[in-house]
């Protein structure tokens, strides 16, 4: 059976060993992963980043997996629920999960669940443009020359702030650079860059280094999308 396309998958499990195992399986399947240790972090990650799927443990401190799935709702990523021994699918109640697996997770079963869940989510996936032109028009009134100038200034700001984030020596420098980028992105209507920068502001303290690098890569990719969007938009205009 062919492997599914490369997906962005959030893994939420408070057990470090289980979380590491799931991430390893998914990455061996060719997917991109973001891992968090509790339900609140999962909700924050979904608010800031775009995921195709989320793998949720049922029993987590704070928010349980079923509560996270309900908060994600119909507009959120497709959910795969996990339960430890002694618990089953019924514990998830009416939580909107597409698949359910027992722990410890079997690699083949997880691969098949991801494939099925991804297929279910394809029909509901929508792609929003990287720039909110309605927001931008409140400043430019559709003036192409001004839009071109703002696009160039934003590209320079992105490069500067991303560089500051990459070189940040402590959490304060990282947060200040992410905050500056968020403001620049919101000003021009670059919604995805703004969302990523807002999430980056929360990645403070020890243990966040790898997640910072992952988000910084996503920020740079989103900034490239903005540049490509402006190039097409201004050419069409």
CATH of the domain at 138: 1.20.120
Residue 52 to residue 117: CA distance in whole angstroms: 9
In a domain, 29, yes or no: yes
In a domain, 154, yes or no: yes
22 with 117, same domain: the answer is: yes
20 with 118, same domain: the answer is: yes
- Stretch 10-17: mean pLDDT: 94
85 with 175, same domain: the answer is: no
Q: What are the counts of helices (DSSP H) followed by strands (DSSP E) for the chain?
A: 9, 5
What is the token pair recorded at 204? 């403070």
φ/ψ of 10, rounded to 5, equals: -95, 130
| Percent of the chain whose predicted confidence (pLDDT) is above 70 | 92
Per-residue confidence (pLDDT) for residue 2, from 0 to 100: 45
Summarised one tens digit per residue, pLDDT across range 180-209 is 999 999 999 898 888 888 888 888 776 677
pLDDT above 50 (res 125): no
Range of the domain at 105: 8-122
116 with 185, same domain: the answer is: no
Per-residue confidence (pLDDT) for residue 1, from 0 to 100: 37
Q: Which of 88, 122, 156 is the last residue of a domain?
A: 122
Q: Which helix (H) or strand (E) holds 81?
A: strand 78-83
176 with 89, same domain: the answer is: no
Per-residue confidence (pLDDT) for residue 235, from 0 to 100: 81
151 with 111, same domain: the answer is: no
Per the listing, tokens 């994600």 go with: 72
191 with 142, same domain: the answer is: yes
154 with 221, same domain: the answer is: yes
Rounded to whole angstroms, the maximal C-alpha distance in the chain is: 64
Per-residue confidence (pLDDT) for residue 74, from 0 to 100: 63
CATH code assigned at 54: 3.40.50.2300
Residue 219 to residue 237: CA distance in whole angstroms: 27
Q: Using 50, 70 and 90 to split pLDDT, how confident is the model at 85?
A: low
In a domain, 127, yes or no: no
- Stretch 103-112: mean pLDDT: 92
What is the token pair recorded at 143? 């003036």
Q: What is the pTM of this model?
A: 0.58
Summarised one tens digit per residue, pLDDT across range 150-172 is 999 999 999 999 999 999 988 89
In a domain, 1, yes or no: no
Average predicted confidence (pLDDT) for the chain: 86
């Amino acid at each position: 059976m062919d492997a599914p396309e490369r997906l962005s998958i959030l893994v939420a499990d408070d057990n470090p060993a289980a979380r590491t195992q799931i991430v390893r399986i998914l990455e061996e399947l060719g997917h991109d992963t973001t891992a968090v240790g509790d339900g609140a972090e999962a909700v924050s990650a979904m608010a800031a980043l775009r995921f195709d799927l989320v793998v949720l443990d049922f029993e987590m401190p704070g928010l349980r997996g079923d509560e996270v799935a309900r908060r994600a709702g119909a507009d959120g990523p497709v959910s795969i629920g996990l339960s430890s021994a002694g618990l089953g699918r019924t514990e998830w109640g009416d939580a909107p999960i597409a698949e359910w697996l027992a722990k410890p997770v079997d690699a083949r079963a997880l691969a098949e669940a991801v494939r099925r869940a991804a297929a279910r989510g394809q029909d509901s996936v929508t792609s929003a443009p990287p720039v909110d032109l309605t927001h931008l028009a409140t400043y430019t009134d559709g003036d192409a020359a001004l839009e071109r100038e703002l696009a160039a200034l934003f590209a320079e700001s992105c490069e500067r702030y991303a560089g500051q984030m990459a070189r940040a020596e402590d959490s304060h420098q990282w947060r200040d650079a992410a905050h500056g980028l968020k403001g620049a992105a919101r000003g021009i209507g670059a919604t995805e860059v703004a969302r990523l920068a807002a999430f980056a502001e929360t990645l403070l303290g020890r243990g966040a280094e790898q997640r910072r690098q992952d988000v910084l890569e996503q920020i740079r990719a989103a900034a490239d999308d903005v540049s490509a969007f402006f190039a097409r938009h201004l050419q069409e205009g």
